[in-house]
Amino acid sequence: MTEKPKIALYWCSSCGGCEESVVDLAEDILTVSEMADIVFWPVALDFKYKDVEALNDGEIAATLINGAVRMDEQEEMAKLLRRKSQLVMAHGACAHLGGVPGLANFFERQDVLDRSYKEVPTVKNPEGTLPEVQSVAHGRELELSGFHDRVRALDQVVDVDYYIPGCPPTPELIRDAIIMALEGRLPPKGSVLAEKKALCDTCPRRDSRPERLRIKEFKRLHQTEWDPEKCFLNQALICLGPATRGGCMARCIHANMPCRGCFGPTDDVRDQGAKSLSFLASMIDSKDEKELERIADSIPDPAGLFYRYSLASSLLKGKIPG
Amino acid sequence: MNRFEPIIVGFLCNWCAYEGADAAGRARKPYPVNLRVIRVLCSGRTDPQFVLEAFKEGADGVLILGCHPGECHYKEGNFHTLKRYIMLRKMLMQFGIEEDRLRLDWISASERDRFVEVVSEMVERVRELGPLVR
Ligand code: SF4
Ligand code: SF4
Ligand code: FES
């Protein structure tokens, strides 16, 4: 009997949603496990670091890594898995673009530590202890993984062959990516395995997206009741569909919520946030500076909104220090 | 101590400000050497991605110069620039880039003195702000 190809799954800085999306493969996981052996998957199977280390270089056919990278441990695992795998796939928005954890790049490293370990109301830390790579407690030396200055997307750490976008990706996209990898039917290296066109193209509300929009104020969801059939933009509600890659089956729109951009930019866009800003600004109906200022102010946190999933991989990558 | 010489990237509309810069040059008007000019066919062609790219690649300030309102060769191009500029300036602050590091102004082909004035003001303002440390 010939050996089945091997696959592996790993998580870095993530919420667990991407793992959940693998579990959501339901019976399709059987198809996958008929085709391949899962040799490493910390969330579900009891294989260890040393088991991965013991494999030959390139012995794993494909590894899916989810989560952004901010710790030494994550970087080390990503590099080890890269060495052992023929293909590495960035699984989900955080590995693909930095994702929501990447928003921490709007803050300095020290601010993140102070906030998490000293300031949040649920933490009692009178001595102000912060995690250290080396420390001594009760006469024993302890070692923790180092915490980097910045959050990085996976391809800022190791070479990535393919991207499965989404927060999280749909189970269908994950299944198709794994099967395509095992059957050797993949598109050119570097491809994002979803639609090429923007979300609006496949949106059920696209027919009510007018050619020209004339907006005097951006509304926020809690300020209004909206028509569940009409394009959000047509109702002065921000939807990032025009600046976001399609392929999610418009799941937020079907749930009557506007798109927040988790599938990332289309191939021809480098910076999803700048693109979002650009199309929204063009829709404003005013030529008066004062009025334009007021309309711009109706978006209280533009950077947080436009870069919700892509800050770490954007042109500026985060706040400029100082 | 050496004086800080900021790098200013300028996106100049071909039909007005670029001509204005040319006119200033022909008239041998001196203006600061800090400006790096990129000619665009309309100020509206200045995609916000270009501005971010300039800051990323080492600009301390970015100047966008277009035709006066009502005089854009593509009718509305400069109004689109204005709309994006106002939002972009606001968003740049969240990235730690002071508002005054990005400036939009209108300069016609004949306004060579105005061109010199705007460039000089921009250089002085960014000199005050200091280098953008990346
Ligand atoms: S803007 Fe949003 S609601 Fe409108 S068509 Fe695009 S994805 Fe659909
Ligand atoms: S609608 Fe937008 S935010 Fe929602 S899943 Fe699709 S790409 Fe992601
Ligand atoms: S042609 Fe000059 S700004 Fe449009």
Measured in degrees and rounded to the nearest 5, phi and psi for residue A115 equal -60, -50
Percentage of chain A beyond pLDDT 70 is 99
- Put simply, whether A271 touches B (Cβ < 8 Å) is yes
CA of A206 relative to ligand 1 center, distance in Å: 6
CB contact under 8 Å between B134 and A318, yes or no, is no
Q: Is the pLDDT of residue B57 over 80?
A: yes
Measuring CA to CA, how many Å separate A200 from each of A206, A228, A250?
A: 6, 16, 9
| Tokens encoding A183 | 């059957």
CA of A105 relative to ligand 1 center, distance in Å: 29
Q: Which of B8, B10, B4 minimizes the C-alpha distance to B107?
A: B10
Atom 6 of ligand 1, nearest CA residue: A200
- Put simply, whether A216 touches B (Cβ < 8 Å) is no
| Residue of chain A nearest B55, judged by CA positions | A316
Going from the N-terminus, what domains does chain A have, and what CATH number goes with each? 6-100+149-183 (3.40.50.700), 110-145 (no CATH), 199-313 (no CATH)
CB contact under 8 Å between A287 and B47, yes or no, is no
pLDDT band of A320, cuts 50, 70, 90: confident
CA of A243 relative to ligand 1 center, distance in Å: 10
Q: Which of B88, B6, B8, B4 minimizes the C-alpha distance to B46?
A: B88
pLDDT at residue B83 in the model = 97
Cβ of residue B78 lying under 6 Å from some atom of ligand 3: yes
Q: What is the ipTM of this complex?
A: 0.95
Q: 């491809």: which residue's tokens?
A: A191
Cβ of residue A253 lying under 6 Å from some atom of ligand 1: yes
Ligand closest to the CA atom of residue B39: 3
pTM of the model: 0.95
Cβ of residue A237 lying under 6 Å from some atom of ligand 1: no
The count of other CB atoms within 10 Å of the CB of residue A105 is 25
- CB neighbour list of residue A207: distance below 8 Å, 6 or more residues apart: none
Domain residues of chain B, as ranges?
Answer: 10-128
CB contact under 8 Å between B86 and A280, yes or no, is no
pLDDT band of A1, cuts 50, 70, 90: low
CA gap A8, A22 in Å, rounded: 12
pLDDT band of A113, cuts 50, 70, 90: very high
Average pLDDT of span B8-27: 97
pLDDT band of A30, cuts 50, 70, 90: confident
| Tokens encoding B44 | 């509206």
Average pLDDT of span A175-198: 95
- Put simply, whether A299 touches B (Cβ < 8 Å) is yes
Q: Is the pLDDT of residue A197 over 90?
A: yes
Report the DSSP beta bridge partners of residue B105. B65
DSSP A272-318: HHHHHHHHHHHTB----HHHHHHHHHTSS-HHHHHTTTTGGGSSS-S
Question: What kind of architecture, by CATH, is found in domain B10-128?
Answer: 3-Layer(aba) Sandwich (3.40)
| Residue of chain A nearest B130, judged by CA positions | A322
pLDDT at residue A27 in the model = 86
CA of A212 relative to ligand 2 center, distance in Å: 23
Q: Are the C-beta atoms of residues A96 and A160 closer than 8 Å to each other?
A: no
In this structure, what DSSP letter does residue A148 have? E
Percentage of chain B beyond pLDDT 70 is 99
Q: Are the C-beta atoms of residues A91 and A155 closer than 8 Å to each other?
A: no
- Put simply, whether B70 touches A (Cβ < 8 Å) is no
Burial of residue B23 (CB within 10 Å: 0-12, 13-18, 19+) is: middle
- Alpha helix (H) residue ranges in B42-96: 48-56, 77-94
Q: Is the pLDDT of residue B1 over 80?
A: no
pLDDT at residue A178 in the model = 94
Cis omega (within 30 of 0) for bond into A126 = no
| Tokens encoding A140 | 């024993």
Map residue B38 onto helix, strand or coil.
strand
| Tokens encoding B52 | 């971010």
In this structure, what DSSP letter does residue B10 have? E
Map residue A219 onto helix, strand or coil.
strand
pLDDT band of B134, cuts 50, 70, 90: confident
Q: Which atom of ligand 2 is nearest to the CA of A167?
A: 8
Measuring CA to CA, how many Å separate A305 from each of A277, A302, B21, B97?
A: 10, 5, 38, 18
Q: Are the C-beta atoms of residues A171 and A28 closer than 8 Å to each other?
A: yes
| Tokens encoding A149 | 């200055």
Q: Are the C-beta atoms of residues A9 and A38 closer than 8 Å to each other?
A: yes
Q: Are the C-beta atoms of residues A65 and A95 closer than 8 Å to each other?
A: yes
pLDDT digits (tens, 9 = 90+) for A71-93: 999 999 999 999 999 999 999 99
Average pLDDT of span A281-298: 95
Q: Are the C-beta atoms of residues A295 and A197 closer than 8 Å to each other?
A: no
